[in-house]
Structures are given as structure tokens and as C-alpha cells.
Amino acid sequence: MEECRVNQNKSMELGLYTLGDLLSPHATENQYSEHQRIQEMVELAKLAEDAGLDVFGVGESHQKLFVASSAPTILAKIAGVTNNIKLISASTVLSTSDPVRVYEDFSSLDLLSDGRAEIVAGRGSRYGAYELFGYNLNDYDELFEEKFELLLKLNKEQQITWEGNFRPPLKNAEIFPKPLEGNLPIWRAVGEHHSSAMQAGRMGAPMHLAALFGASSVFEKRVNAYRRAATEAGHDTEKLPVAVATMMYINQDSRKAMRDFYPYLNDTFSQVRGGSFPKDRFAEATSIKNAVMVGSPQMITEKILYQYELYGHQRFIAQIDSGNLPFRKVQEIIEMYATEVVPTVRKATKRK
């Protein structure tokens, strides 16, 4: 899409994102306050910029165990303490939001950040927002498709005349303020649904793919389906970037990384989803062909580059603060990521 600002002639963009987890404490660790957690999210973004990373994202959730219910507000604070790093939602729950309001919020963020804002729009993998804002889960797909189409329309046209099923109609409406360059990069978040990848391709929207668990080859099928659908719809796939989002944990010893991270991952699953994460499934992460980004800096580098061979993606972002991981450990992971992983990945993915 013309409004996407990823430069595909450079190396892969690398970054971080946070969902603002606020789980019950692990083992003997202390409970975080909401205030402390949000302040650490801002500090994490500052560290990411200082480390020379390209992108920082804040997810959105509207339920217990998470503090990021207003991602644009948090990103606005981050915009004030950073200068260069791109600021994205990761992702905006568009199905339960008004696309007009979302566009106004991120246009304002774009102006505050001197043109660094991007929207990643998704359905939401947790459903608390649907009940909170009075939407019917039976309209899950229809809500998103209608609202995503409207969001894209708002990004392309100066005056909007539009009518749908889930929002009052617009007649010659004009949205203010305008983004710095006239439009915003808008990505479509794609999770477990193969059909969502295909729809992103048909619409010519950059794809932001959640590739959390399992064999990386599984996600290759979604990338291929996305590009095939885009080609069939007449879009130039060379202009349609793909981003990959996952969780990541780094330790100099891969076996220690596996041992140390599992309790946090398992806490996340047990508290958020109500079940444990299977140990045998987690053990598969020792293979570079597995999407779970856990291991030594060398292992993480090999995993990212293995996925790059499969997907040819332009952006990789990872969450390193999941499960209330102590901030001191988060800082250590950023250091290893920035000094031992990022330089090698950038060199290996640099376009000739």
C-alpha cells in the first residue's frame, strides 16, 4: 500500500511490543501496581530506542490482568520521551471501537511523534471488550470486516460518505486532524485464521502476523496464502510488507532459557486462558524450526533467519515482558537482543 512506510530496500526492521501484562506474582515476586506497570512500559520503549531498535508497539486489552486499555494514550507518552522509533498498536481491537475515533487518535499520535504512528488493527484474541462495549460475539467477523474497510477508506479519502450495519452513516464527513503525511500505515493483524490472511491479501493491506507457537512452516502457509490472494486481486506483493510478532526470552545458555521462561509462560496461560502450557509442546522450542523464540542469542538469531527464509518478511517484533517478568531481566534481554541478535539479523537481511 502506498501509505506503508517500511523501506523494503533496507534490512529487516526489528523491534519490541508489550501487552501490559499484570498477572498475579510468580513464586516469591512482588505484585506490580498498575502505575508501576505502565511506567515500566514507557521505560521499555525508551530502552528500545536507546538500543537502536526500529519499532515499539503497545497492545490493547480491556480485562483483568492487563493495563493497556488505552494504547494511544500510552503511545502518546512514549512519543514525548523518544525521537526516532516507530510507534504502533499491537494491536487495536477495531471490532469494538469506532474507526473514526481510532483514526483521530492515531492521527493525533502521528503529529505528536513527528510522523511515527502506525495502526495494527485486529479482532482481539480475548473477548472481554465485546461484552464491555455492548457488541455481540456472533458478529465477530462482520464487525471487523466492516470497520476495517471503513478505516482504510478514512485513510484514503478527504471526505467520506459511507453506510454500514454497525455504525451510524457518514455523509460528506471530514476527519481532523490529518496525519503528518496525509495518511497512516495501516496493517491487518492476522492470527489463527487462514481466511484472515487471504482477506488481508485481497484488500492489499500489509499483514501483521502473530506467530507464537508451533512449527514456523505452519505460518509460512498463511504468508503464502496472503501473497497469493494479493496477486490474484491485482496487488503488487513487492509493496506489501509482512510483519511477524511473537514472544521472546534470551539467556546466554539455551537450556537455562528454556528452564527459566517456562514458569512465566505457564503462568500466562493458566491465569489468562485457564489451562497450563503443555511441557512437551514447549520442549519443541529447542528446534530452530519452531516459532517459540526462546534460547541463546545465537539460537534466537538462527530462528529469526530461518523464518526469514520461509516468509521473506520485512519486520520482526517480540514481547519480552510477558508474564510479569522482572524488569531487571527485561533489561538484560534487551541488551542481548540489541548487541548480539540485531546486528547479525540486519546484516543477513540487508537488501543488495
- Smallest Cα–Cα separation from 36: which of 20, 49, 25, 55? 20
Domain 13-349: give its CATH architecture.
Alpha-Beta Barrel (3.20)
Supply the mean pLDDT for the chain.
93
**Most confidently predicted of 3-12, 60-69, 340-349:** 340-349
27-34 long-range contacts (CB < 8 A, ≥24 apart) are: 27/263, 29/324, 29/326, 32/324, 34/67
Q: 3-class DSSP state for residue 53? A: coil
Question: How far is residue 81 from each of residues 44, 51, 67, 260, 337, measured CA to CA in Å?
Answer: 11, 14, 20, 32, 22
Least confident of 227-231, 242-246, 322-326, 337-341: 322-326
Rg over alpha carbons for the chain, rounded to the nearest Å, is 19
pLDDT tens string 19-62 = 999 987 766 677 789 999 999 999 999 999 999 999 999 999 98
What value, to the nearest 5°, has the Cα angle with vertex 326 and ends 189 and 88? 25
Omega within 30 of 0 (cis) for the link into 276 = no
Torsion over CA of 126, 246, 201 and 60, rounded to 10 degrees? Answer: 40
- The residue written with cell numbers 513527528 in the block is 114
pTM of the shown model:
0.95
Q: Tell me: pLDDT of 2 over 80.
A: no
Higher pLDDT, 268 or 202: 202
Higher pLDDT, 139 or 29: 139
pLDDT, average across residues 207-231:
96
Q: 3 falls in which pLDDT band (50, 70, 90)?
A: low
- Smallest Cα–Cα separation from 130: which of 122, 121, 139, 119? 139
pLDDT > 70: what percent of the chain?
A: 97
pLDDT of residue 23: 86
pLDDT of residue 284: 94
pLDDT of residue 274: 83
Q: 4 falls in which pLDDT band (50, 70, 90)?
A: low
Burial of 318 (0-12, 13-18, 19+ CB in 10 A): buried
Question: How far is residue 129 from each of residues 62, 98, 124, 245, measured CA to CA in Å?
Answer: 5, 13, 8, 22
pLDDT of residue 7: 67
- The residue written with cell numbers 486499555 in the block is 69
Helix (H) or strand (E) holding 190: strand 186-190
- Smallest Cα–Cα separation from 51: which of 339, 298, 297? 339
pLDDT > 90: what percent of the chain?
A: 81
Q: Tell me: pLDDT of 276 over 50.
A: yes
132 has which bridge partners? none
CB contact at 8 A, 299 and 261? no
pLDDT of residue 160: 95
Burial of 84 (0-12, 13-18, 19+ CB in 10 A): exposed
pLDDT of residue 31: 79
C-alpha cell at 57: 508497539
pLDDT, average across residues 146-173:
95
pLDDT of residue 132: 87
Q: How does DSSP classify residue 325?
A: -
- Smallest Cα–Cα separation from 43: which of 268, 342, 334? 334
- How many Cβ atoms are within 10 Å of 347's Cβ, its own excluded? 9
Q: 3-class DSSP state for residue 153? A: helix
- Give the Cα separation of 274 and 258 in Å (integer): 22
pLDDT, average across residues 298-317:
98
pLDDT, average across residues 244-270:
95
pLDDT tens string 79-124 = 999 999 999 999 999 999 999 999 999 999 999 999 999 999 998 7
Helix (H) or strand (E) holding 334: helix 327-336
Q: 247 falls in which pLDDT band (50, 70, 90)?
A: very high
Least confident of 19-33, 127-141, 217-231: 19-33
Q: Which residues contact 72 (CB under 8 A, 6 or more apart)?
A: 89, 105, 106, 108, 109
